[in-house]
Amino acid sequence: MNTNHYVKERIFKAMKTRVEIYKEIDEERARQDVKHGGSYNDDSNYQYDWVDHIQKQAEEANNLAKNLNAFIRQMIRVAALAVAAIESQERLEEKRGEEKRGEEKSPVPIRHDVVALRHIRSVLNCYTPDEIYDASQNLDDYESIHVTKKV
């Protein structure tokens, strides 16, 4: 047997198949759902929140690049987060479609200034989504938001 062929065959056998990788991503998604509250929590994220989460996890993978196993494990987390983002956005789009058809009505329309404030909160990590939502309930103008920072 050709030594080169033997080495290539051993490398091929050592590599995970795509199906095995997808299985690991699916298992990581299940773990994330248990840890973070599933679709209820996922659907409270905006697209920029997902990008931010994914960027942080990808940056962590970059820091682990010298350790192949740790790097692969972190990339599984990144892929699972991307799946969560897609699932969440698909659910939200379906809900918006139901609202347009009159099947369900949103109690409070989301204002762009509230979205901007929520993004600022996510960057500063000092307000909870509930605090932002509560402040937006009777929002007349941007200056009327009064949220107390939790210490």
pLDDT digits (tens, 9 = 90+) for 126-143: 555 566 556 555 554 444
Q: Considering the chain, what is the average pLDDT of its residues? A: 75
CB atoms within 10 A of CB 50: 18
Count the residues in the chain.
Answer: 151
Domain edges within the chain: 3-106, 107-151
Two structure tokens written together for 8: 């290539």
Per-residue pLDDT, 12: 56
Given pLDDT bands bounded at 50, 70 and 90, which one contains residue 37? confident
Q: What's the rounded Cα separation, in Å, for the pair 50 and 85?
A: 6
Q: Are 54 and 78 in contact (CB under 8 A)?
A: yes
Given pLDDT bands bounded at 50, 70 and 90, which one contains residue 78? very high
Q: Are 80 and 28 in contact (CB under 8 A)?
A: yes
Q: What is the pLDDT of residues 86-119, one digit of tens each?
A: 999 999 998 888 777 665 554 444 545 555 556 5
In this prediction, residues 9-38 reach a mean pLDDT of 84
Distances (CA, A) of 116 to 109, 113, 120: 14, 5, 6
pLDDT exceeds cutoff 60 at 124? no
Per-residue pLDDT, 147: 47
